[in-house]
Structure 1
Amino acid sequence: MGKILMTLGIILLIIGMIWQFIGKLPGDIVIKKGNTTFYFPIVTSIVVSIVLSIIFYVIGRFK
């Protein structure tokens, strides 16, 4: 279990580092009006949901 958690941690670290350079994914909604900005990360939310689902599925398989 320790190796799995370390591997998942490294994967999440790499994803986080890549995310810093990308900023936002195509498909995220940004509306700018005057001095107000509305940012709705719909595609980012879907990607995070899929990644977390895969992680929890893999962890659940080892129980």
Structure 2
Amino acid sequence: MNEIGRLLVGIGLFLLLLGGLVLLLGKAGIPLGRLPGDIAYRGKHTSFYFPLATCILLSVALSLVFYLLSRFRR
């Protein structure tokens, strides 16, 4: 049970740091969530939004972070 508790605390701290980073990037003028390539459709009675470019950017950034973490663990 100790290991699960530590894992949950670690995930919580990671999410807290990630949320703070997103807030700081928003205040710095980086339009995370409104990048060119994000799909937005606004119809008469409906709207659809899919942040495609933002998802790709976050995927590349997280892949780089996890790659670097795995290199340092060895």
Q: TM-score, normalised by structure 2?
A: 0.59
Partner of residue 46 from structure 1, selected from 44, 56, 72: 56
Larger RCO, structure (CA 8 Å, separation 6 or more)? 1
Structure 1 segments (4+ residues) deviating >4 Å: none
Count of equivalent residues: 53
Q: Any stretches of 5+ residues in structure 2 without a counterpart?
A: 1-16
**Structure with the greater alpha carbon radius of gyration:** 2
Q: Counterpart in 1 of 2:4?
A: none
| RMSD across aligned positions (CA) | 2.2
Q: Report % sequence identity.
A: 40
* 1:60 equivalent in alignment to 2:62: no
Q: Any stretches of 5+ residues in structure 1 without a counterpart?
A: 1-8
> When you count strand as a share of all residues, which structure comes out higher?
1
Q: TM-score, normalised by structure 1?
A: 0.68
